[in-house]
Amino acid sequence: MELFLKDFLVLKEDEIMDKTKSPIAVFDSGVGGISVLREMVKIMPHEDFLYYGDSKNAPYGTKTKEQVKDLTVAHVQEFLNMGCKAVAIACNTATSAAVASLRQMYPDLPLVGIEPALKPAVQYKKNAKVLVMATPMTIREGKFQHLLDKYGQDATVYQLPCPGLMEFVESGHYKSKEVYDFLEQLLYDYKDNQVDAAVLGCTHYPFVRKQIQQVLGDQVKIFDGAEGTARELKRRIEVAGLSNPDTTYEGHVTFHNSAPTPEKMRLCQALLAYED
């Protein structure tokens, strides 16, 4: 997968006519959604991707639902104006706030959101004790509460809002000692075999998965929704007949950010290449 760091994606006229050659838009409140983008690149290597991170307005998890919805809808409208053939909302908070409205607005658009991977975590073992780590808004919104009502009866589920955690990734300090110290304090009550599984309910959190694993212990199974989201978007694109038929084509990734400093764009590249 060839990587291009550009400010804008310019589509040629013939690419607009043939939507199978158009790019897939992947959106997050910042750089966290690159954890989902990585999975999409793996399973759709012949597609072009436009990744947009709204770092200027991050974090979304502490905003109101209406603020997040307005920002998300505006970004999706811009992606469609640019000719994108599909959209992934790679942000749990934005999914909770806006994906239902967007599906009503664009019923024919291959569109996916992401949600905490509660189902596989609950099914991991009988009577599992599951820790859900997410932004405050993701936890309080109806979409997660619906998941909890649907799957939480078969497990003990602990809901842990994590304000401040995504900022370590957003600032590029996801490998620092400070993030480990932060997690030691945040997860103190869940150490020493207190939980069987942990759900990473924000797309920034996979970039600190190693530290979360170290704090909770190797016996804890960690789940996130990136791979499932990527598979679902691939399925929807195929159903819509929009997959790129040229299997010899090497797809490109184009990054754009609302706060496009050189440091932020280098961080995007580093996170795309990040190995767990």
Residue type, 112: V
Q: What is the 3-state secondary structure (H, E, C) of 44-57?
A: CCCCCEEEEECHHH
Residue type, 148: L
Whole-Å CA distances, 241 to 27, 80, 81, 110: 22, 17, 20, 10
Active site residues: 91, 202
Handedness of CA 72, 114, 203, 48 (dihedral sign): negative
What CA–CA distance (Å, rounded) separates 102 from 76?
8
Which of 34, 88, 230, 252 is closest to 244 using CA atoms?
Answer: 252
CA separation, residue 80 to residues 11, 49, 73, 102, 109 (Å): 12, 13, 11, 12, 9
